[in-house]
Amino acid sequence: MFTLNCKGKLITTDVPLVMGIINATPDSFYEGDLNKGMDGILALATKMLAEGATILDIGGQSTRPGSERISAENEIERVIPVIKLIHNNFPDAILSIDTYQSTVAIAAVEAGAGIVNDVSAGELDKNMIAAVAALRVPYICMHLKGTPNTMQQYTDYENVLKEVLDYFVYKIKECRDAGIKDIIIDPGFGFAKNATHNFTLLKNLHILKMLDCPILAGISRKSTIYKTLGITAAGALNGTTVLNTLALNNGANILRVHDVKEAMEAVKLIECYKIV
């Protein structure tokens, strides 16, 4: 079990947690929640919290392959109103900012976020790790090679599990040396990885437990599911639940999902399964 201090709000992983995705961007690979307007975003946050989400992850920049990069200023304009809206209506909710830009992370935590979720683990902004240490919030480090624009060019691995494990050994030390107390690791399903790599990491997720950090699995509605099944992201809920269940059984502490209700059901059933 891990305890995470999110700006004075403590959460534990004795039972796996569910993180709901809120896309404050018009160009997400699945749904751009910003298109629903602020009322729609608040309704989505309300629904996710009612269904059992412990964390809401708010992002203002799509990281799908080939997505357009935007400036920190534009990203701040997208996410800060969303964070303030949800924080004002649900002051006890744990909010996470999904960004690789340190200035966005700082502004988001000042506005009410309590976790920083960085797909680059500090590689795309060398100020990020020091900034998170100063903010004193948990840091989600994800494995990524290249950038979201170029990552599909970097899918050659001799041993994907070993490379991801070695990467986190280095990153965890870097974060701890900087003063970050609570580190969460995310193997980065779909980021510079093909379907075989993703299934390999999922099958061996328990190996990452040796790093003694909470493990986040973010595979919700991704191409490994819908391309394998010959469907679309919109039809990938059942496949997502199957892979979330495998992730839980293999040691995931946090599920990052678009569909909270179904993820919570998977958590409950797996917990019952494990105790018999």
pLDDT digit string (tens) for 211-266?
Answer: 999 999 999 999 999 999 999 999 999 999 999 999 999 999 999 999 999 999 99
pLDDT of residue 18: 98
Tokens 């269904």 appear where?
51
Tokens at 140, concatenated: 């989600």
Structure tokens at 263: 């993820």
- The predicted model gives 116-134 an average pLDDT of 97
- Dihedral, CA of residue 55, residue 61, residue 63 and residue 69, to nearest 10: -160
- State which H helix or E strand residue 96 sits in: strand 94-98
8-state DSSP, 62? -
What is d(CA 61, CA 67) in angstroms, rounded to the nearest whole number?
A: 9
Any idea of the CA torsion for 259, 264, 270, 271, to the nearest 10 degrees?
A: 160
- CB neighbour burial string for 159-174, b if at least 16 within 10 angstroms, e if fewer: ebbeebbebbeebbee
Token pair belonging to 105: 């992370």
pLDDT in tens, 42-86: 999 999 999 999 999 999 987 666 556 789 999 999 999 999 999
Contact 266, 244 (CB under 8 A): yes
Structure tokens at 238: 């059942």
- Residue 59: what pLDDT? 94
Domains of the chain: 3-275 (3.20.20.20)
C-alpha to C-alpha distance for 121 and 127, rounded to whole angstroms: 11
- Residue 140 bridge partners (DSSP): 117, 184
How high is the mean pLDDT of the chain?
Answer: 93
For residue 276, what pLDDT band results from cuts at 50, 70 and 90? confident
pLDDT in tens, 94-114: 999 999 999 999 999 999 999
To the nearest 5 percent, what fractions of the chain are helix, strand and coil?
50, 15, 35
pLDDT at 252: 98
- Rounded to whole angstroms, how far apart are CA atoms 27 and 33? 9
CA 38 to chain CA mean position, Å? 22
- Could you give the CA distance from residue 255 to residue 244 in angstroms, rounded to a whole number? 7
pLDDT per position as a tens digit, 137-172:
999 999 988 667 666 766 788 999 999 999 999 999
Neighbours of 209 (CB within 10 A): 15
For the annotated catalytic residues, the residue numbers are 222, 256
Cα 207 to Cα 210: distance, rounded to the nearest angstrom: 6
What confidence tens digit (pLDDT) does each residue in 5-35 have?
Answer: 999 999 999 999 999 999 987 756 556 555 6
Q: What is the pTM of this model?
A: 0.94
Name every residue whose Cβ is closer than 8 Å to that of residue 175 and which is 6 or more positions away in sequence: 122, 129, 132, 133, 139, 141, 183
